[in-house]
Amino acid sequence: MATTRLTFAVADVLGRPPQAGTVAEVKLTWTDAQGPVTQHISLPLDGPVTRAVPAQEWSRIDLDVAHPDYAPESVTLTRSPDAPVYWDNRGVAVTRDGDDLRLTMELGRIRQSPVTPPPYTGTQAHGDQPGVFFREATGQPRRYAVLNTPAPPATPLWLEKVNVRTLTDAAPARAEQDGWDRFRTTDQVVALADTGGFLWLEYGGNDDAHPPQPRFLVAVWAPKRPSAPVPADGIDVVCYFTPSTATRGYPLSAYPFRSNYPYSVKRDTTADQPYVVVGYRHLLRDLNLVQAQHVSGRPAVVVVPILPALPPGKDNERFAWQPFNSQEGTHRLLLEVVRFLHRFGYGGSGTDFSRWQGSTAPVGLLPPLPTARRAGSVPTPPSALGSVTVCGFSSAIMGIFPLLTRKEISLPHHFPRHLFGGDAAAFDAVWREWWDLDLELKAEATGIKAADYERQLLRWFADGNDRRMRLYHCDHTMGDTPPARQFAALAGLPHKAGSLPGLSEAWHSEDGRWTAAFYRAGLLRARTRPAGVLPLFPLEAADAGLIHPFTAALGFGHASKLRAG
């Protein structure tokens, strides 16, 4: 009987084998004319493993790998007489030499978030939930509940067409006008379904890991791509940090963040998952970041880590923003996302988004349903991490300011570097842009002095090759301080300036590498606003609290148009 020697090896997204001493559960099944035969093997995978497949002219081999530190992976190999071997996992490469097969498999630490039905009408959910709420109905495929929520006139949010307005120039030009008419803008009608795909992902340890490992909720939007391979320089990413959840009434969750986060329901509500809602608010509804990226003409993958609110006390507060307030921590997250998208089929010839929006996510605690995957006989090189933009809004400065100088994870015992760390030098090489979306400048609120922030930002800007920075501020973070006093060092750089006295100042370098815009509250409040235009322009009568997020929305849309790439 002919025997095939199958040698398989696994590696993480950095090309490293699992840590020595950890054991994986491997299920190996081969099929020939006599039918399938299955072996269950428990073994370490810190080096290649060879197994004999004593099958007469096998037609199929199935390999399932479950490792405690990584998301489970599987691959199916098929062949027919006088034909090459095909496999159906883009994170796998297979080479054949006679009767010998060598298989390498990439293991990642990201998986789709599970989904769960919302509570029945008239009932309430309580506490932790097994996943993101989904909704499906006749004529509506399964999607995350918010995307399938009808909006007048009964059109789901995912299909609703909205008019998105973005700045073509950060400097307003017409002081005598009202609202949007003070700015130079462009409009584009957008439906979310036309922009690309949206996913809720989990990053970190598996539910059954011992001891328990941290797990984080991550929102990801990926733009539609033409039917062409991913560019050689990789997939560009905009990593956006929301304001801190610590003071906003979110359920409190202590390390390792396994209760009250991320799918818990807000007390005394029917179906409000606060940590999930914060992603929807920033990406899809209030700040409209997805729509702005789409209309920019230079869309990148948008990654938003949603971090837990911590209980009070220094012992808990030290975990704030970890491990993403270091270059290696953010690098690992973004690399994991890009590689997951590659394995999920993104970036191939004509990406199929029918598997996105929660349609193929596992339901609750059930295993994910098997889905058809395209097979190939040629290895697909993994996607590289392309140009990176780091941006944040409001109190997010507490999380991203350390990125300017901190290379390594500062709590490696709690966030082991082999599991949460990447390569700080590799991150530094691709980190090209910084977008300050009305970051908080008051030291009493954040513990960060504005002068220290400016000094470190300009040092980062000067250190890299063709780095870019964009800053957008309003009275909420500037107070009455003149821009030239608040950002004295930036004002000292060669630049062109424009202003509307008492309303705004805008600076930019001649080479276009940096922009700064400062808006007074009087500029960003209107007597009236056009119906159906997003983001909503704040009204004089009632919307003073919207000026701060509106500034961030304006800045994100404008910076997206200027993004290099």
What tokens appear for 72 in the block? 């489970």
Does domain 3-108 correspond to CATH entry 2.60.260.20? no
Strand partners, 65: 26, 73
- Burial (0-12, 13-18, 19+ Cβ within 10 Å), 138: exposed
Would you state the pLDDT for residue 248?
75
Tell me how many degrees the CA angle 295-297-300 measures, rounded to the nearest 5: 95
Amino acid letter for position 8: F
> Which of these, 287, 108, 302, lies nearest to 199 by C-alpha position?
302
Would you state the pLDDT for residue 270?
61
Residues whose CB is less than 8 angstroms from the CB of residue 126 and which lie 6 or more positions away in sequence, other chains included: 265
Report yes or no: 240 and 392 within 8 Å, Cβ to Cβ. Answer: yes
What is the C-alpha separation between 236 and 338, in angstroms, rounded? 9
| Cis amide bond preceding 368, omega within 30 | no
**β-strand 73-78 against 86-87: which pairing, if any?**
antiparallel
Coil vs helix vs strand at 5: strand
> Which of these, 37, 45, 53, 54, lies nearest to 16 by C-alpha position?
45
CB atoms within 10 A of CB 148: 21
What is the C-alpha separation between 140 and 137, in angstroms, rounded? 5
pLDDT digits (tens, 9 = 90+) for 196-244: 999 999 999 988 777 889 999 999 999 987 545 566 679 999 999 999 9
Would you state the pLDDT for residue 479?
93
Task: Please report, to the nearest 10 degrees, the dihedral formed by the alpha carbons of residues 334, 335, 341, 344 taken in order.
Answer: -140
Amino acid letter for position 441: L
What is the C-alpha separation between 490 and 441, in angstroms, rounded? 15
Report yes or no: 111 and 82 within 8 Å, Cβ to Cβ. Answer: no
DSSP state of 76: E
Query: Where are the domains positioned within the chain?
Result: 3-108, 133-371+384-562
What tokens appear for 44 in the block? 């370490």
- Could you list the pLDDT tens digit for every one of the 565 residues in the chain? 578 899 999 999 999 999 988 899 999 999 988 899 999 999 889 999 999 988 767 899 999 999 999 999 999 999 877 778 999 999 999 998 888 999 999 999 999 999 999 887 767 788 899 999 998 877 778 899 988 877 655 788 888 899 999 999 999 988 889 999 999 999 999 999 999 999 999 999 988 777 889 999 999 999 987 545 566 679 999 999 999 998 778 999 999 999 999 999 986 656 689 999 999 999 998 999 999 999 999 999 999 999 999 999 999 999 999 999 999 999 999 999 999 999 998 975 557 788 899 999 999 877 666 666 777 888 888 889 999 999 999 999 999 999 999 999 999 999 999 999 999 999 999 999 999 999 999 999 999 999 999 999 999 999 977 999 999 999 999 999 999 999 999 999 999 999 999 899 999 999 999 999 999 989 999 999 999 899 999 998 788 889 999 999 999 999 999 999 7
- Burial (0-12, 13-18, 19+ Cβ within 10 Å), 178: middle
DSSP state of 309: B
Would you state the pLDDT for residue 99?
82
Would you state the pLDDT for residue 125?
80
Radius of gyration over alpha carbons of the chain, in Å? 25
What is the pTM (predicted TM-score) of this model?
0.95
DSSP H or E run through 191: strand 185-191
Tell me how many degrees the CA angle 562-538-507 measures, rounded to the nearest 5: 35
What tokens appear for 165 in the block? 């307005």
What is the C-alpha separation between 334 and 145, in angstroms, rounded? 26
